[in-house]
Amino acid sequence: MSILIKGVRLNGETTDIFIEGNRITEIGDRLGVEAEEVISGDGMAAIPSFVNGHTHAAMTLLRGYADDMPLKEWLETKIWVIEAHMTEEDVYWGAKLACLEMIKTGTTFFNDMYWHWQGTARAVQEMGIRGAISAVFIDLFNAQKAGEQIALNEELYAAREAFGPRVIFTLGPHAIYTVSEEALQWCAAFARAKGLLIHFHLAESEEETNRCLADHGTRPVRYLEQIGFLGPHLIACHCVWLNDEDMDILKAHEVRVVHNPTSNMKLAVGGVFPYPQLRKRGLITALGTDGCASNNNLDMLESAKIASLLQKFHTGDPVVMPAPEALEMITTQGARAFGLESGLIEKGRWGDIALVDLNHPQLTPHFHLASDLIYAANGSCIDTLICDGRILMRGGRVEGEEEIMAKARERAFDLVKRAAG
């Protein structure tokens, strides 16, 4: 398979981009090569497609089901009740809907943690994007449960290749307040032995810190260091309750951190991702949407705008997290966090590219691409999406989108009915 994008705006110039197999093999003016697929880039800008650093894809099924509730009541009376009734088939359709929404809004990679791993893996395999997928690992400090979770993860790891190279198996220990020390240590050892990433919720609430102080006599980050959990394999999501020492420790271990501003604000978790301090220390900082029950969408451009606004508001400095940095968080920084060969459009990288329709009021007059994308546009400005050298969307249309929405709708309403009784 080969794709030629003709006459597209790239870094302020008009050029051609040639993709062979799943990689960009040439970039230049009027390449004059033959390609199986030719895309006119007229009126469009090529950008690296986006990286969603933290989500629970199948929670699209719960979008708008229960909003504006106190956190504990929301989890206990709504989310957990529904999740207890979810089947792999539900997760499959929820994840398909999530992939569809991500494709429509320019995202080709997401980092996921959810139940029924295979449901999400099948959806990713079929939809053509990339997913780092972890099963939720919760043992509630029970050794038997821990053993079951370990067995499940070993089994999923062994079977992972059946879903092809775009599905990346990762470990998903949920958080320090739901996973035992022994299980966290097993995860770290398994990740190191097999070269896997660990997807983890860290420092999301003040309660988490207080409980850790009470239980372990130290704050979460230092506790995790003490048990040997930290390392560049760790994708630490949220990180809104960190102090200077925590950040120094995270940097010393080259942990990758993922900010989820919309979810943090919507759930009112209180803390704020200390972006200027993390950036000053040189940590890799990516951005995520979190699941659709707490966002309620998967639009990375919207999340990047909200991230930048929140930093400016919180620091009182309108210069913090300027548009180009916010755009980097969802492209190059995201790719670095997950070791992806995307995030930049250059020869040798993966053909993971989004084409932005510049004939859009929110991109007019168009002085600066990064400013327009982050502050003015949203995911609806994406016209064409290519992942792994395959065209997943053209003219804003994705093959089979009506069926995916219809089936996901049907599963969601059926699920709620099943959960009710």
How far CA 136 is from CA of 55, 150, 151, 152, 260, in Å, comes to 12, 11, 13, 11, 18
For a copy of itself, the closer CB: 107 or 134? 107
The CB-of-406 to a copy of itself minimum distance in angstroms stands at: 9
The CB-of-293 to a copy of itself minimum distance in angstroms stands at: 10
CA dist., res. 296 & res. 61, Å (int): 11
Which amino acid is present at 153? N
DSSP one-letter string for 238-261: E--S--HHHHHHHHHTT-EEEE-H
Burial of 274-304, coded b for 16+ CB within 10 Å and e otherwise, reads: bbeebbeeebbbbbbbbbbbbbbbbbbbbbb
The CB-of-95 to a copy of itself minimum distance in angstroms stands at: 12
Residues that bind a copy of itself (CB under 8 A): 60-61, 63-65, 67-71, 74, 97, 100-101, 104, 262, 264-268, 270, 292, 295-297, 299, 302, 306, 308-310, 312-313, 315-319, 322-323, 359, 361-362, 364-368, 371-372, 375-378, 380, 401-402, 405, 408-409, 411-413, 416
CB neighbours of 218 closer than 8 A, spacing ≥ 6? 212, 226
CA dist., res. 235 & res. 111, Å (int): 9
For a copy of itself, the closer CB: 352 or 372? 372
The CB-of-319 to a copy of itself minimum distance in angstroms stands at: 6
The CB-of-363 to a copy of itself minimum distance in angstroms stands at: 9
CB neighbours of 126 closer than 8 A, spacing ≥ 6? 96
For a copy of itself, the closer CB: 145 or 312? 312
For a copy of itself, the closer CB: 7 or 396? 396
CA dist., res. 205 & res. 216, Å (int): 17
For a copy of itself, the closer CB: 97 or 287? 97
Question: Do 174 and 135 meet the contact criterion of CB atoms below 8 Å apart?
Answer: no
The CB-of-367 to a copy of itself minimum distance in angstroms stands at: 5
For a copy of itself, the closer CB: 175 or 369? 369
Query: How many Å from the N-terminal Cα to the C-terminal Cα in the chain?
Result: 50
Tokens 């990758």 belong to which residue?
A: 256
3-state secondary structure of 47: strand
CA dist., res. 239 & res. 177, Å (int): 15
For a copy of itself, the closer CB: 194 or 280? 280
For a copy of itself, the closer CB: 16 or 328? 328
Token pair in block for residue 32? 């004059």
The CB-of-190 to a copy of itself minimum distance in angstroms stands at: 35
The CB-of-122 to a copy of itself minimum distance in angstroms stands at: 18
The CB-of-234 to a copy of itself minimum distance in angstroms stands at: 26
For a copy of itself, the closer CB: 22 or 289? 289
For a copy of itself, the closer CB: 222 or 312? 312
Question: Do 131 and 168 meet the contact criterion of CB atoms below 8 Å apart?
Answer: yes
Crossing angle of helices 181-194 and 143-159, in 10° steps, is 20
- Based on its alpha-carbon atoms, the radius of gyration of the chain, rounded to whole angstroms, reads 21
The CB-of-156 to a copy of itself minimum distance in angstroms stands at: 27
CB neighbours of 417 closer than 8 A, spacing ≥ 6? none
Which amino acid is present at 226? Q
Bridge-based pairing of strands 198-202 and 50-55 is unpaired
